[in-house]
Chain A
Amino acid sequence: MDYGTIFSSALASALGPTAIVYALAAIGLNIHFGYTGLLNFGQAGFMAVGAFGLSVSVVTYDLPFVVGVLIALLATVVLAIILGVPTLRLRADYLAIATIATAEILRLIFGAVETKDVFGGSNGLSGFAQPFIELNPYDSGLDIGIISYRRDDLWILTVGWALVALACLLIWLLMRSPWGRVLRSIREDEDAVRSLGKNVFAYKMQALVLGGVFGGLGGIVLALSQNNIKGSDFSTNVTFYAYTALLIGGAARVLGPVIGAMIFWFLMTGIGAFFSQATSGTDPLIPSDIMTDTQASLVRLVLVGLGLMLLMIYRPQGIFGDRKELAIDAR
């Protein structure tokens, strides 16, 4: 058992590109669910539209990289509006159904054989990140003993964490403003807000668009970090991982989704590495008639799920949440 390797791979994952992607997606969900009470179960769809908006623009239509980024963000705005217009006047569950269905439809379209010419089919699209990679100012990777990143990763980390920091700053500014107060009020009772002369629909739409754009940014970072993107990168568990990250960190807290994403990937990678070591080799720690190495790769999901349940029971507000806000019954 090499605990040093386990720890350093977990740490690298907690600070790595995947954590950034999920931090951005969870920041978006925090605006939707944490602050406004909107149930978006299709954040993967927003991420996919961001990622494919960029890659299709650059690869399929040969547009400049910057234009591709703008198209990607615009596409997430359009998706939010298309989803919001028919559902945001209805009960909360309609949005949930519409978003999860749309995300699945998008995933299937992006991965389909029939649309291979545009979206690249099951292989997806590649090579669009070249202009981004060429901007890399670093001469070499980073190695500080316990963790090390390649040169390319270091660049995406710099840009990605800067984006996360800017996102948090924006959320902090917005949520201390009267605009944020309206969102938090809508979460509690939208009729009360309506009775005070606020256009609840417009605020929900703004929240849906803003959170969707952050989801799209997450998708773009994912696309850039892999320099390849395909439909199957955006299955529904992407959305649920992002929700898990949000709940671990604490909803309706500025840093909740960020810390949550880091903890989530620390645990996922750490537990995964532990069980993979424990079941591999000639004389594994856990005998193979108890657990094989294929089973071991799934145990982390069981344990993270169990952890989430315990968290919801004993600390429902998440790590950063405010107990007081949650303790009051809404009679």
Chain B
Amino acid sequence: MPADNHSLLAGVADTPGVAKPDPIVKGSNISRQFGGLKAVDVEHLEIQRGVITALIGPNGAGKTTLFNLLTGFDVPDTGEWSFNGTSLQKVPAYKVARRGMVRTFQLTKVLSKLTVIENMRLGATGQRGERFWSAPFRPLWSSQEDANTQRADELLARFKLDAKREDFAGSLSGGQRKLLEMARSLMVDPELIMLDEPMAGVNPALKQSLLGHVKSLRDEGRTVLFVEHDMDMVRDISDWVIVMAQGKIVAEGTPDQVMSNQAVIDAYLGAHHDTDITELDESSLEAAAEQELDEEGTHG
């Protein structure tokens, strides 16, 4: 399977902003300024359909801001971009999601005071019971609700959250929340799923299964764009990597190409040229994992 996906991108040059054979997202001149800081300044961007693209870059590079701009959660100062060939300029966030481009958040947004299954049901689109005039009359929507619940239960089982079905989402651990958010976004049945740091704060054991889930998204025909810091993880699952630094795309390519790229090493490490990029990440990762375990200990 991965071989196939790589071949979709075979022959694509490793230059920033390079055109893809079958782009699902295309954007040009996208910029967003916060005060004096140009958080995003992307000349050209294309995301290939049907593969996993990783968006990497140091903290503050503008990855989250770019996500916000593409999905309608923030408005760029300049630029135009399209999804499946139709422009997304001035399209509100909820309509972007309905068109099949769904994102998750760096700071997980589960609805703590709803149960896990209710979080999932919320994700289903086109619900008759969500219309005011039909809402009071259960027979009008109960069959659809049952179908949605069944789909939700299947996803919960796949993401190993079925044991937590009736728990409040607020009682889940950080990693389980990431899983729930990913599962919930699948209820929308997106074509493109954009994950903002899906592994952040997830303990190592869960991380492996999360990785598997991301791959399975691609294998069922979805396009994945995800932000990640952990280079091993990026190398492991992504077909293509886009590197951002200071708002710009500084490099693109297959994981191997990108990790040997001098511009990337510079962007990540600044002066410390001789440190190995993967080593650095492992130690910081271990620290993060320990911290999470500690937190879970204290939360009981």
Contact = CB atoms under 8 A, between A and B. Distances in A.
B181 to A, nearest CB: 8
B114 A179 contact: no
A195 B135 contact: no
Contacts of B125: 196-197
Interface string A173-215: 1101111111011001101111111111000001000100000
Which among B104, B136, B137, B168 has the highest number of chain A CB atoms within 10 Å? Answer: B136
B127 interface: yes
Interface residues of B, number: 41
Contacts of A195: 71, 73, 93, 97, 102-105, 109, 185
A273 to B, nearest CB: 40
A324 interface: yes
B24 interface: no
B103 A179 contact: no
B123 A196 contact: yes
Interface string B120-151: 01110101011110011110010001000000
B55 interface: no
A38 B131 CA distance: 19
Contacts of B71: 195
Contacts of A173: 135-138
Interface residues of A, number: 31
Contacts of B188: 196-197
B171 A328 contact: yes
Contacts of A325: 113, 168
A176 B95 CA distance: 26
A214 B63 CA distance: 45
B113 A188 contact: yes
A178 B136 contact: no
A329 B299 CA distance: 11
A330 interface: yes
Contact of B111 (A177, A185, A200, A324): A185
Interface in B60-110: 71, 73, 92-95, 97-98, 102-105, 109-110
A262 B128 CA distance: 36
B21 interface: no
B233 interface: no
Interface in A146-188: 170, 173-174, 176-182, 184-185, 188
A188 B94 contact: no
Interface in B244-262: none
Contacts of A197: 94-95, 97-98, 102, 125, 188
Nearest to A193: B122
B129 A191 contact: no
Contacts of A192: 105, 109-111
A179 B130 contact: yes
Nearest to A171: B136
A326 to B, nearest CB: 8
In this complex, the member of B102, B103, B109, B114 whose beta carbon has the largest number of chain A beta carbons within 10 angstroms is: B109
B102 A196 contact: yes
Contacts of A177: 129-130, 135-136, 138, 141
Nearest to A169: B136
B98 A178 contact: no
B174 to A, nearest CB: 9
A178 B135 contact: yes
B118 interface: yes
A194 B112 contact: no
Given A188-B113, A196-B102, A197-B94, A180 B135 contact: yes
Contacts of A188: 111-114
A282 B31 CA distance: 81
Nearest to B140: A177
Given A177-B135, A196-B102, A185 B122 contact: yes
A330 B108 CA distance: 11
Contacts of B171: 328
A176 B136 CA distance: 8
Given A178-B130, A191-B105, A324-B168, A184 B135 contact: no
Contacts of A194: 73, 92-94, 97
B2 interface: no
B121 A178 contact: yes
Nearest to A188: B111
A115 to B, nearest CB: 35
A3 B60 CA distance: 69
B221 interface: no
Interface string B3-38: 000000000000000000000000000000000000
Interface string B169-195: 011000000000000110110000000
A184 B114 contact: yes
A326 B94 CA distance: 28
A170 B136 contact: yes
Given A192-B105, A195-B105, A182 B136 contact: no
20 contacts: A178-B127, A178-B129, A179-B131, A179-B135, A184-B113, A185-B111, A185-B122, A188-B111, A188-B113, A189-B109, A194-B92, A195-B103, A196-B97, A197-B95, A197-B98, A197-B102, A199-B92, A324-B168, A325-B113, A329-B112
Q: Across the A-B interface, give the 7 residue pairs with the lowest CB-CB distance, nearest first.
A: A328-B170, A178-B129, A179-B135, A192-B109, A197-B97, A173-B136, A177-B135
Interface of B: 71, 73, 92-95, 97-98, 102-105, 109-114, 118, 121-123, 125, 127, 129-132, 135-138, 141, 145, 168, 170-171, 184-185, 187-188
Given A193-B122, A200-B94, A328-B112, 4 more contacts: A173-B137, A181-B118, A181-B121, A198-B94
